Amino acid sequence: MSELYNEMIEFAKESIAPYTQDVDCEAKFPIESFKFIKDKKITGLLVPKEYGGMGLGFYEHTQTILAFANYCATTALCYMMHNVATNCLVTYGSEELKKEFLPKIANGELMLALAYSESGTGTHFYIPEIKVTKDGQNLNMSGKKSFVTSAQYADYYLIDANSFDSEGLDNWLVSKDLEGITFEHSAWNGLGMRGNASCPMILENVKIDEKFRIGASGSGLEQIMNIVGPFFIIGLAAVYSGVALNACNTIIEYSMNRTYSDNSTLCNIPTVQNHLADIYTKAISAKFLTLSAAKSVVDADLAALANVIAARLNASNMAVDVCTKAMKIGGGTAYAKRLPIERLLRDSLAAQVMAPSSDVLTTWLGKALTNQEIL
């Protein structure tokens, strides 16, 4: 693995792992972990060097999320969404917006998030109902986003809405502090990913400035297809690959340390050895398919889109399979929550429903493989 990946693994072990259990048990946002992420200026991973950032790209985005997810899936997910929003600004934002926001993001002063999902359109987050209207010289945004990760903890949100002056969609950078924005925190009590603060965001006649629109009028869908979608989907592949690796490492260590009265260990049992072999094979396949898919994007492989979607589907399936079998090996100890496997299993199940869902992605992959338009 690269020097960056190894560096991020060590960072996550020291600055993320100590807070993971509390994040899950108390369903609280990983504030402490993000303080370290900001202090180390990892918020600027994708910010170009001329704005003070690290100037890295798609592959490093994938590696960093994978490393974080080895220790906390919630932190990795929230960080991934920050990166996705940041990269949309980097790629499509005006020079005015870049100069205003990118140095602050690079310095750890600002954190971004996505606000895409809506209850009316489900996992089809690219079909928003939220609207921007023009009243004289004023622009107003109204509507409701249903699952907003890092709700109220991020400073700005990338929001997709129907364009007010053209056909199609627009992406907007919206501050959480604008009048008319509220969050329904009591609505979130997740089975897994419990600390991601994913709750509804209500916007009631929120006055916005046109300078905060990302890119040209009506270019929102293009941004979603070219930047937001690929960075988001590979990010989820990295998150769930990390969950699988965490479960794999945890159960292997447990099997070596679980001793019986005859001084034999759990890992001496042939059936357990077979299960461990299967777990390792699945976890490592998720990791390397995800990294290979990311590399194919960097290399402009013709199959890159299909590879990214396949990596996300594979990682989601492998995470559930690995965690389920690890629970079986852990037996009563795992069932009694004396191992983190139970938490990892709950985290893994989010992969099936998080937009775009596995069912939607399977259809997309079939279209990509047969040269059809995905949307």
pLDDT in tens, 284-299: 999 999 999 999 999 9
pLDDT band at 375 (very low <50, low <70, confident <90, very high): confident
Arithmetic mean of pLDDT, 40-68 = 98
Local structure of 110: helix, strand or coil: coil
pTM for this entry? 0.96
The Cα–Cα gap between 361 and 375 comes to 11
Q: What residue segments make up the domains of the chain, in order of their start?
A: 3-111, 115-218, 221-369
Helices (H), 3-72: 3-15, 20-25, 31-39, 58-69
- Of 282, 294, 78, 283, residue with least CA distance to 198: 78
pLDDT at 221 over 90: yes
Residue 324: pLDDT over 80: yes
- CA separation for the pair 94, 89 (Å, rounded): 8
Look up residue 284 and give its two tokens.
């490592």
pLDDT over threshold 90, residue 352: no
Q: pLDDT value at position 271?
A: 97
Rounded CA-CA distance 40/226 in Å is 29
pLDDT at position 312: 98
CATH number for domain 115-218, candidates 2.40.110.10, 1.10.579.10, 3.30.420.270, 3.30.1300.10: 2.40.110.10
For domain 3-111, the CATH architecture is Orthogonal Bundle (1.10)
Q: What's the average model confidence in pLDDT over 16-30?
A: 96
pLDDT tens digit string along 95-111? 999 999 999 999 999 99
Domain 115-218 and domain 221-369, same fold? Reply is no
Q: For residue range 129-156, what is the model confidence (pLDDT) as tens digits? A: 999 999 888 999 999 999 999 999 999 9
Mean pLDDT of 227-251: 98
H or E, element range at 224: none
Looking at every residue in the chain, the average pLDDT score rounds to 96
Burial class of residue 78 in the structure, from the number of CB atoms within 10 Å of its CB (0-12 exposed, 13-18 middle, 19+ buried): buried
**Is the CB of residue 235 less than 8 Å from the CB of residue 60?**
no
* Closest C-alpha to 20, from 243, 228, 185: 243
Q: What percent of the chain has pLDDT over 90?
A: 91
Per the model's pLDDT, the better-predicted residue between 99 and 375 turns out to be 99
Average the pLDDT over 334-341 and give the result: 96
Q: Distance between CA atoms of 286 and 266, rounded to whole angstroms?
A: 25
Mean pLDDT score, 155-159: 98
CATH architecture of the domain formed by 221-369: Up-down Bundle (1.20)
pLDDT value at 1 more than 70: no
Indicate if the pLDDT at residue 266 is higher than 80.
Answer: yes
Give the start-end residues of each E strand in the chain. 112-115, 131-135, 138-148, 156-162, 169-175, 181-183, 199-208, 213-214
Q: Which secondary-structure segment (H or E) carries 258?
A: none
**Of the candidates 114, 103, 109, 181, the residue with the CA atom closest to the CA atom of residue 141:** 181
Q: What is the mean pLDDT of residues 210-230?
A: 96
